[in-house]
Amino acid sequence: MKKEDTTKGNRYGMVIDLDKCTGCGVCLIACASENNIPVMYDESDKTRNITWLQIYMVTNGKEFPETEVIYIPRPCMQCDNPPCVPVCPATATDKDPTSGIISQIYTRCIGCRYCMAACPYHARVFNWFDPWFPEGMDRYLSPEVSPRMRGVVEKCSFCHHRLMRAKAKANVEGRRDLKEDEYIPACVEACPTKAITFGDLNNPKHKISELIKSPHAFRLLERLNTEPKVYYISTKNWVRRMADNYLSGEFKDRS
Amino acid sequence: MEFNRRNFIKFAVGGTGGILLSPLPWKLIDDIAIWTQNWSWVPVPVRGKFSYLNSVCTLCPGACGIQVRKVGSRAVKIEGRGDYPVNQGGICPLGMAGLQILYNEGIRWKAPMKRVGPRGSQEWKEIPWDEAIDELATRIKGLREKGSPEKLAAIDGNQSRSTMALLIKRLLSSIGSPNYMVMPREEDTYDMVNFLMQGSRGPIAFDLENADFIVSFGCSLFDGWGAPGRMLSASREWVKNKTYLVQIDPRTSNTASKADLWLAPFPGTEAALALGMAHVIIKEKLYSKEFIENHTFGFADWFEEDGVKHKGFSRIVLEKYSPQVVENITGIKGRVIIEVARKFASAHAPIALAGRGKGTLPGSLYEFMAVHALNALKGRVNKKGGPLIADDIPLAQWSDPEYDPVAMDGLKKARVDLAKTPRYPFSRSLVNKFTETINNSHGSPIDTLMLFSANPAFTIPDSQSFIKAMAKIPFIVSFSPFMDETSLMADLILPDHTHLEKMADIVWPTGIQYPLYALSQPVVKPIYRTEHSGDVIISLAKRIGGPVSGSFQWANFEEALKERVKGLYDSGREKVSWADIKENGYWSIPAHSFEGGSDIFQTPSKRFEFFSTEIELAIKAYSKGKSFDDALLDLGISSKGDEVYMPHYEEIKSGADKKEYPLLLFPMELINLASGWIGNPPYLNKTLFDHQLKRDDLFVEVNPKTASQYRLKEGSKAIIRSPKGELRVRIHLFHGAMPDVIFIPFGLGHTAYDKYLKGKGVNPNEIIDQVEDPLSGQPVWWNTRVKLIRI
Amino acid sequence: MDLPLIPKGVERCSLKTFAPWMFLWLLIMAWGLVSAFLCLYKGLNQTNMNHYFAFGLWIVFDLSVIALGAGAFFTGFLTHIIGKDELKAIINPAVVIGFICYSAAIATLGIDIGQPIRGWFIFWHANIHSMLTEVSFCITAYLGVLTIEYLPLILSNRKLNEVPEFNIFGNNLHHIVALFAAAGTFLSFFHQGSLGGMYGVLFARPFAFREGFLIWPWTFFLFILSSIAAGPSFTLLCVWITQKVTGKELVKRSVFNTLAKISGWLLASYIILKIIDTISWAYGVVPRAGLSFMDFYKGSYGIWLIIAEIGIFGIIPAIILITPKYRERNHLLIIGALMNITGIVLNRFVFTVQTLAIPVMPFDKFMGYLPTWQEWGIMMGAIGYGILLFSLSYRYLPLFPQEPEINPVKVFGHIITDSGVIRRS
């Protein structure tokens, strides 16, 4: 496959420091309330409920009292080489060349779910049910994000409407470029431990560009060449080992 | 052209083909595709002007700053306030989901309600506010006329120093009832520790951001302890400053996983562990000599004036808590104890914290004292990075209420919960004893019970006993905005606003290290016919009339609050006005005044007391007319001699037979599962893992070794049985759980609220077999013996 | 009662026998219609598909029937383009089976997508990079071809043929049938190949992914090969079942032999290529993704699947079908064809369900999937529709040109050849 030039334009990305993440779930809730995500009676059905940002709990598998637990918040990886985009038959999802964000047009999606089969991160979810908000709760819906209908696929958009909002503001002020903290997704903003850093990977001045150079930085399933723009940091070897598949002897410890 | 069949077919085929080639049909189908999906059940958010309002989240006493995004008159999103000192941008999951509390029609009382059917039948009649307040006023007046105002009781869940709490307390005392109770919480235990060892009442604050070595004896620092927003913000400081964190926890909690060292002593032996550390510090002379010599009492042996010799704290600890002994009690290796103690002692700013879980339930008094003794050994009290004695916040005092003879007589009567009586001299209130007294009485010593910001029928350990007691109380008035378990059993509902619809204050949020007064403001106009409980109390007092009315001279709650707040800007320490405080949402002195010296200790000895003179006085008073040993037995203290007055390890007794009930049920609190009086909002359900809740089944965490003894696999169904009852659960195998302990989360198993919450999981409070903590009488809620039955 | 509709020179059972047979399949179709209504009205929550199993039973069914329907284009190709006249005996049933398979697949897909009303967006907003776009275009176009191929057959119904326009139209179509056979072959090669490509390009799903040469042309040809290996076997099986049900010999035994031989050799070559493909995948894609071969065969989707797919239902039927001695025995012929079909269906199942069942992230969970009665309903309804349409076609259309020759109609001991239907005077 032809590799496209990813050095141009903005390439928004994220670094999630798993040493700082306490798994509190605020990012997930901030995301849900920012993006008008519906609720079901049975939210315990993780294979059917709607979340754009899923949190995985992972243990090191050791016995008491050597057990360790970490949490992996997983938004859409916004891959530079997205497996989901080329498969969509109706061009309902695309990579925005100016931001690197993978868009999803809900009103065009036909609900074939091919993109979900393509994504190994389970970042895409399908509306098996009609969107539902308990009685009275439609009063907090934000007009910035349209609620999705049954039968379409949806996913994390890096709060694209916030990018639009920031751009509109910059436009009014006659600026072309956004400041580093001017556009950040709701989950990043909400993280109480500031475990998530957001920025433009193509901008060397942004903190994120420095962070991804850390020997402890990694991405999920890097070997599959999806080129995710969401990075993680952990000083723990077992955590980094957990991020990808390795044959025995392949993984190098970097403590 | 002749119109025949052939031509007709030609025309039809040609015409169809022509139309199909034009964009018209496609455009039409496109329109139809969109039009047919204007489904009425997919909501369309209403547009409007964006605005942002600052306020404070008062869902817990943490008082995090929030910013609410509004569209028109609707609130659409809650975000943390970055410029707010408590939380610096971070808020907890519950605070984040606050709009699901405000707007959830299914859980809220929409107007004052009067019960019409039998209790529990849920037949209600909507009544006007006037009628509702009159009904309560008449009842209270009746009690006063009969000369028994003490038959009125209140259980209050508001933060103890808040204006709301003060107002409720004032109402009860001006009516003449001593039976004002607060919901049990960790702060109660700290209040006693503060009083017994340091001589001041009130909370202890912790300068955690400036500590470099933290030993948490069970506080779930990252799971909602203290002000959750502040703790999560603090954690990033710790990562930056390389603060060493030791977490003591029987389970790999989030905090344990994030800690530098995780120790898992047997639950209930934390005091022994603390004293084991003290042993090492004393033995190796690693303590602060300056502080011990100049500012403490009872460290070394001493003689009373009459020549009676007392053993000092140091001697007792050296004799009784060697690492070997402590290893046997706690299960923690002696060398680990020595190592941690040395590290603690050599740190620049070490701090030891006592607590359990989120700190919403009380702890054991002697255990807290033992842990706090570590702080004293290193002389950390009121030092940067140490435990602080709260500075006064210069709020103005209201004038004393007026008491008429009825009130004065009533206030002289003993409290139904026995708190502040010689038997329980230090506890402020004991809801567990209140329950017990009512259940043991013929009839009910309480006629009318008022409930504020609390849902004890769900949150109180051994909730079934509380529900039994409620059934005996003739008249129950709930001020809850929510259709919770307790209000559904009430006779009269006077619904309060939710936190986003009203003004409320929190005085010195939990654990914050500097004085702060937080003030929330209404973010949206009340959406239902609810009234601010503060206003209702003032109007109720006016209708009761007489001196009660005279004690509530304010027009409304805001006036009463403003009168207190006036003290802040009159104090002159900060040049602010009412408008500033309202706008900012807080008043604060940026840093604690680390005033050292001995004058900080208000104990009889004017020093930090390892040997508590207050305990000595109290036990002496209680043992009048009975043998000393009997008195100790009564008080639940099993040790003898001078140790009784000092921090020491008491084995927590349990009524249940260990053979019959071989396992321990340890309730845990999760940051993403609301377990207090606020029901868990649906968004928080999203954050629960499917190994915690699956459909309606709650999972308990069990060590695989323990599970295999009962032939239980991942997901197996089982019954947990305690002497109080049983719960049906499923098993989650978790290596991080201590063997022989079952970990069960608080917060599920509601029988009230809406269908998004009701019936999901089980409530551990139902089977908690609580015992009394020695001396304090607080419920020990984490020590229920149970057995596991496979089904 | 329906005698005027029945083709000349053949005998059909009475309507009294035929009606209950039809009723049975209508009943099953009704099950399908109820399921379809529920899925359209209430949404896909009526299925057991989920975020992990984005594809389920229906896609397996679609892929399978499209592979099995390949008998149509391949027989057409052999008959009209290669000129294998012997196969003219089964070209009609092959076309009908093909039409049934493709129309059933498209109908099922219509239910399967979450927004059926927007299905045509594939054409309107086509993404030319998507294999599914290619598949959709080709399948739709090919269904058109099949319809055109089916049409003259329908028009040759005795009653319809009496209409002069139909007669002329049908005859004209007959003359250009080779053109459509060529178009069908072209389209089929494309979509059978792209159907394989659909999975082969999922580069983040190491179980399905094939790289470089192994995706193009290898995987494409694997899917084409497997479909043209299974197609004739399926046609064979359908005809054989028709013979059993009607109790008549409809085509000559030699035709079966030819079909089996073609099927067998294609299957044999497919299996060899498939084994090469599997080995190079196991030593290429798999270790590069940090996985080992056995990582993919866990839980209920164990190693037995690949043994069954390639060994039991691949190599064995290939041997049966290519060995003249074996395929000449009726029961072995049928077992061989059946096993061949099973192997290919298993292959389509593995590529769909197993691909999705295997977690890629090491900390992810392995999921299982069982369809609901609604999902079975759609599939059974489609099968019911197929049998119904085939039965009607058999009864009212001259499906088997060899039938009158093999089964001469006798009246009072006289063979009636081309003189029309017997009327009672």
* pLDDT tens string B478-528: 999 999 999 999 999 999 999 999 999 999 998 888 889 999 999 999 999
Candidates C115, C117, C125, C365: best to mutate against B (most CBs of B within 10 A) is C117
Average pLDDT over residues B111-127: 95
Map residue C32 onto helix, strand or coil.
Answer: helix
Residue of B nearest to A71 (CA): B254
Q: What is the pLDDT of residues C180-203, one digit of tens each?
A: 889 999 999 889 989 988 999 999
Contact A126 C114 (CB under 8 A): yes
Average pLDDT over residues B724-744: 97
> What are the chain A neighbours of C122 within 8 Å (beta carbons)?
89-90, 110
> What are the chain A neighbours of C206 within 8 Å (beta carbons)?
224
Contact A56 C364 (CB under 8 A): yes
Above pLDDT 90, what percent of chain B? 81
What is the distance, to the nearest Å, from the Cα of residue B626 to the centroid of all Cα atoms in its chain? Answer: 37
Does residue B36 have a pLDDT over 80?
Answer: no
Q: How far is A127 from chain B (nearest CA, A)?
A: 12
Contact A151 C122 (CB under 8 A): no
Average pLDDT over residues C13-42: 95
Contact C204 A109 (CB under 8 A): no
CA–CA separation, B667 and B781 (whole Å): 8
Does residue C177 have a pLDDT over 90?
Answer: no
Question: Which residue in this structure is represented by tokens 């389920």?
Answer: C56
pLDDT at site B120: 85
Does residue C240 have a pLDDT over 80?
Answer: yes
Residue C422: band (very low, low, confident or very high) from pLDDT cuts 50, 70, 90 = very low
pLDDT at site C216: 83
Does residue C415 have a pLDDT over 70?
Answer: no
Contact C114 A226 (CB under 8 A): no
Q: How far is B265 from chain C (nearest CA, A)?
A: 30
Provide the whole-model pTM: 0.94
Q: What is the pLDDT of residues A172-193, one digit of tens each?
A: 999 988 999 999 999 999 999 9
Residue B164: band (very low, low, confident or very high) from pLDDT cuts 50, 70, 90 = very high
Distances (CA, A) of A34 to A185, B58, B71, C277: 9, 22, 13, 47
Q: Which CATH fold would you assign to the domain A12-242?
A: Alpha-Beta Plaits (3.30.70)
Does residue C420 have a pLDDT over 50?
Answer: no
Judged by a CB distance cut-off of 8 A, whether residue A121 touches chain C is: yes
Average pLDDT over residues C65-80: 93
CATH number for the domain harbouring residue C255: 1.20.1630.10
Average pLDDT over residues B91-99: 95
pLDDT at site B20: 75
**Other CB atoms closer than 10 Å to residue B24's CB: what's the count?**
11
pLDDT at site C238: 96
Average pLDDT over residues B194-200: 95
pLDDT at site B597: 55
**Dihedral (C-alpha) B581, B585, B587, B588: value to the nearest 10 degrees?**
-160
> What are the chain B neighbours of A181 within 8 Å (beta carbons)?
none
Judged by a CB distance cut-off of 8 A, whether residue A246 touches chain C is: yes
CA–CA separation, B650 and B697 (whole Å): 36
Could you list the mean pLDDT of each consecutive 10-residue stretch along chain A, which spans 255 residues? 69 96 95 96 94 96 94 97 96 94 94 96 96 93 94 97 96 92 96 95 96 96 96 96 93 77
Q: How far is B2 from chain C (nearest CA, A)?
A: 18
Q: What is the pLDDT of residues B306-325, one digit of tens each?
A: 888 999 999 999 999 999 99
Does residue B335 have a pLDDT over 50?
Answer: yes
Does residue C424 have a pLDDT over 50?
Answer: no
Number of structural domains (chain C) is: 1
> What are the chain B neighbours of A70 within 8 Å (beta carbons)?
257
> What are the chain C neighbours of B32 within 8 Å (beta carbons)?
117
Please give the backbone phi and psi of residue C377, each rounded to the nearest 5 degrees, phi first.
-60, -45
Boundaries of every domain in chain A: 12-242
Residue of B nearest to C118 (CA): B33
pLDDT at site B304: 86
Contact C121 A116 (CB under 8 A): no
> What are the chain C neighbours of B36 within 8 Å (beta carbons)?
117
Q: Residue C425 domain-assigned?
A: no
Partners for B (CB, 8 Å, 3+ pairs)? A, C
Q: Which residue has the higher pLDDT, C413 or C406?
A: C406
Concatenated DSSP letters for chain A? -PPPP-SSS--EEEEEETTT-----HHHHHHHHHTT----S-TT-TTTS--SSEEEEEE--PPTTS--EEEEEE-----SS-SSTTT-TT--EEE-TTT--EEE-TTT-----HHHHH-TT--EEE--S-----TTGGGG--TTSPPPPTT-EEE--SSHHHHHHHHHHHHHTT-SSPPTTTS--HHHHH-TT--EEEEETT-TTSHHHHHTTSTTEE-TTGGGT---SEEEE-S-HHHHHHTS---TTTPPP--
Does residue C403 have a pLDDT over 80?
Answer: yes
Q: Residue C118 domain-assigned?
A: yes
pLDDT at site C425: 37
Above pLDDT 70, what percent of chain B? 98
Residue B569: band (very low, low, confident or very high) from pLDDT cuts 50, 70, 90 = confident
Map residue B350 onto helix, strand or coil.
Answer: strand
Average pLDDT over residues B261-287: 97
Map residue B717 onto helix, strand or coil.
Answer: strand
Does residue C423 have a pLDDT over 80?
Answer: no
CA–CA separation, C334 and A71 (whole Å): 56
Q: How far is B253 from chain A (nearest CA, A)?
A: 8
> Of C43, C130, C201, which is closest to A89 when you measure between CB atoms?
C130
Contact C289 A245 (CB under 8 A): yes
Average pLDDT over residues C390-411: 89
> What are the chain B neighbours of C118 within 8 Å (beta carbons)?
33
Candidates A19, A26, A51: best to mutate against B (most CBs of B within 10 A) is A26
Contact A126 C363 (CB under 8 A): no
> What are the chain A neighbours of B262 within 8 Å (beta carbons)?
65
**Dihedral (C-alpha) C74, C77, C82, C86: value to the nearest 10 degrees?**
70
Q: How far is B428 from chain A (nearest CA, A)?
A: 33
Q: Residue C171 domain-assigned?
A: yes
Q: Residue C422 domain-assigned?
A: no
Average pLDDT over residues B225-234: 88
Q: What is the pLDDT of residues B380-412, one digit of tens each?
A: 999 999 999 877 788 999 999 989 999 999 999
Q: Which residues have C-beta within 8 Å of that of residue B434, sequence separation ≥ 6?
A: B153, B155, B179, B181, B416, B417, B469
Contact C165 B29 (CB under 8 A): no
Average pLDDT over residues B228-236: 87
Q: Which residues have C-beta within 8 Å of that of residue B293, sequence separation ≥ 6?
A: none
pLDDT at site B594: 66
Does residue B705 have a pLDDT over 70?
Answer: yes
> E strand or H helix at B18, and its extent?
helix B5-21
Interface of C with A in 294-323 (CB under 8 A): 295
Concatenated DSSP letters for C205-241? -TTT---GGGIIIIIHHHHHHHHHHHHHHHHHHHHHH
pLDDT at site C136: 93
Q: What is the pLDDT of residues C107-158, one digit of tens each?
A: 999 999 999 988 989 998 999 999 999 999 999 999 999 999 999 999 989 8
The ipTM assigned to this model is 0.95
> Of B9, B29, B36, which is closest to C120 when you measure between CB atoms?
B29
What is the sign of the dihedral through the CA atoms of B246, B248, B250 and B252?
A: negative
Q: How far is B226 from chain C (nearest CA, A)?
A: 32
Q: What is the pLDDT of residues B574-614, one digit of tens each?
A: 678 899 899 889 998 877 666 655 578 999 999 999 999 99
